[in-house]
Structure 1
Amino acid sequence: MSTPSTPADFPCRGESPKPAAPTAAATSGSTVPPSDHYAENHGFRVPIPLHGQSRCDGLTAVGRVKSALEPLRQRGDFAPDSVRSALTGLGYSAGKVQAYQDGSAGVGFLIDIGASPWCVEGTMSRDVTKADAFGGYPDGTGCEPPSGGH
């Protein structure tokens, strides 16, 4: 009996079940010519998704991050130092939290949770705070997006 290489996903606490993904027949008809290797050559920049309990832990971390940043967003405080402070206030190490200006009216952030790697990345703008958890990058660069490929 073989074991799956990816842990099974299951609904996490507070999450409603997702509809089934479209079948391959429904998604065929790519507009990219077969000779275009862009996706193949840039696959190293695609974050590794979390599965199983790690995915649930990631969703919990994303919820905590959004809750911590919502008061800043509501007051219009888009200073990277304020975002960094809010995130380190959640217990994340200051050396593992990055916050930076993202456009004229927003801020981006990246947290290296440090669990093999385990990362939370997102942006906060006047309208919304977005965040996603992921498991690093295929080339082993941790939470930082890699800059080169093959």
Structure 2
Amino acid sequence: MRRTEVRFGIPLLAILAVLAAGCGTERAADTAGDGGSSRAAARTPSTPVDFPCPGESPAPTPTSSVPAADSSSPSATPPVDHYAENHGFMVPIPLHGERRCAGLAAADRIEAALEPLRERGDFAPESTRGALTGLGYSAGKVQSYQNGPTGVSFLVDARPLCLEGTMNSGGTKVDAFAGYPDHTGCDRPSGGH
């Protein structure tokens, strides 16, 4: 009889030890906001969060006067755009959340730094490069080149931000993005997968 009691007692003690250790006592909601991992968060795909950045007013929600197509009809499915599909590697990855705000702030700084050059009509790539390195960007990460007789284009690799733009007599335009799919640099890839 003694041997039977020991045989049943060991598994029972193991089960009690596991329960006493606290397995299963933490819920996913307990750690979701404190930086810890959450099983519920791991299962749910994240959607990028965009919010108004400092100095930016909220964008109005676009409205469409075109009625939504009935998704049950076969003609409602748009044709597959193979060109877009095959050239998707050349589409910049957009910034979201805090990185988007950092990108907008960097673009504003660049525009402000280049404005005196634009007002003087100085569209020399060397001048543009000097203004950008003057903002603290590494000379090895700044490219600038002539864009027509009165314009200059530039690219700054400030990863995780990429900043690309043009300056001419009409103004300065700077776009911030997060790079390209299947490519490690900020420069536009010439070939994809």
Gaps of 5+ in 2: 1-39, 70-77
Q: Which has the higher helix share?
A: 2
Give the structure 1 partner of residue 8 of structure 2. Answer: none
Q: Following the alignment from structure 1 to structure 2, what is the Cα–Cα distance between the partners of residues 26 and 16? A: 28
Q: Following the alignment from structure 2 to structure 1, what is the Cα–Cα distance between the partners of residues 182 and 176? A: 17
Structure number with bigger Rg: 2
Question: CA 1:22 to 1:45, structure 2 compared with 1: closer, same or farther past 3 Å?
Answer: farther
1:11 to 49, 52, 71: 52
Mapping of 1:1-150 within 5 angstroms? 1-2=40-41, 3-22=44-63, 34=79, 36-115=81-160, 118-150=161-193
Higher relative contact order (CA 8 A, sep 6+): 1
Contact kept? 2:159, 2:178, Cα under 8 Å: no
Query: TM-score w.r.t. structure 2 length?
Result: 0.69
Q: Determine what percentage of the aligned residue pairs are the same residue.
A: 66
Contact kept? 1:6, 1:51, Cα under 8 Å: no
Alignment RMSD (CA, Å): 1.9
Q: Following the alignment from structure 2 to structure 1, what is the Cα–Cα distance between the partners of residues 150 and 56? A: 31
Contact kept? 1:9, 1:52, Cα under 8 Å: yes
Q: Following the alignment from structure 1 to structure 2, what is the Cα–Cα distance between the partners of residues 55 and 46? A: 17
Deviation per CA, 1:19-71: give whole Å up to 9, x if none. Answer: 11346x6687xxxx825411111110000000000000000000000000000
Query: Which consecutive aligned stretches of 4+ in structure 1 deviate over 3 angstroms post-superposition?
Result: 1-4, 25-28
Query: TM-score w.r.t. structure 1 length?
Result: 0.87
Give the length in aligned residue pairs: 143
